Amino acid sequence: MLITPVAHPARADGPWVFAPARQARRRVRPPRPAPPGAAPPISAVLFDRDGTLIEDVPYNGDPGRVRPMPGARAAVEAVRGRGLCLGVVSNQSGVARGLLTRERVAAVRRRVEELLGPFGVWAVCPHGPDEGCGCRKPAPGLVYAACAELGVDPARTAVVGDIGADLAAARAAGARGVLVPTPVTRPEEVAAAEDCAPDLLTAVRRLLDPEDAPLGPEDTEGPPAQEPPRHRPAQGPAGGAP
């Protein structure tokens, strides 16, 4: 049965939340129990959008410019194959800057789902970096909003992203953060990451099978030096997204 996503009205100071009909999430299988002394198994994986799931095109509102990152489809399918919840958490300050509209953000979301399949929730921060909202990463609001919509505990949730703000948002919400570096990832963000993987599929596989080797900064050497860095707006020490 085709489920048409709907956009839930957001509070003036909160994120935009796009989610499918609630009955779709009843099919999610419960997580496998954790071995004694191990961290609880994850019930959901939330992905950053730009630079993680798709190529980072600054303030992109054009579905025709959407290109999946290497391994994105396989990583997302691996999560689906385990019956876990899937979501996207994305800063989109282009809205506050007058460069994007809600319709353009939704159009890009639809194109991502055409390429990668459906996600249970999209939580989008439309605010600028100076507005002091509680949803813009590195604040935890997007993670909280996505988990609330999916009905999962943040402590059983993993957030996968490419910069320090993604991991800071996960940490602030009590979720697990995993860094997958790209050319815009700062060396200090790689060094500070508790969990780090060289590519998206490896990150997901290790989340799904925690008995594998632990993640850590030693698993990646950071962004390839020969590649020019993509656009990254100036942010504070924790890093940030568009």
Catalytic residue numbers read: 48, 50
196, two tokens: 């780090």
128, two tokens: 């600028």
CA atoms within 13 Å, Cβ hemisphere of 33 = 3
In three-state secondary structure terms, 68 is strand
HEC profile of 1-63: CCCCCEEECCCCCCCEEEECCHHHHHHCCCCCCCCCCCCCCCCEEEECCECCCECCCCCCCCH
Spatial distance between the Cα atoms of 237 and 233, rounded to a whole number of angstroms: 12
Burial class (CB in 10 A: 0-12, 13-18, 19+), 130: exposed
70, two tokens: 């290497």
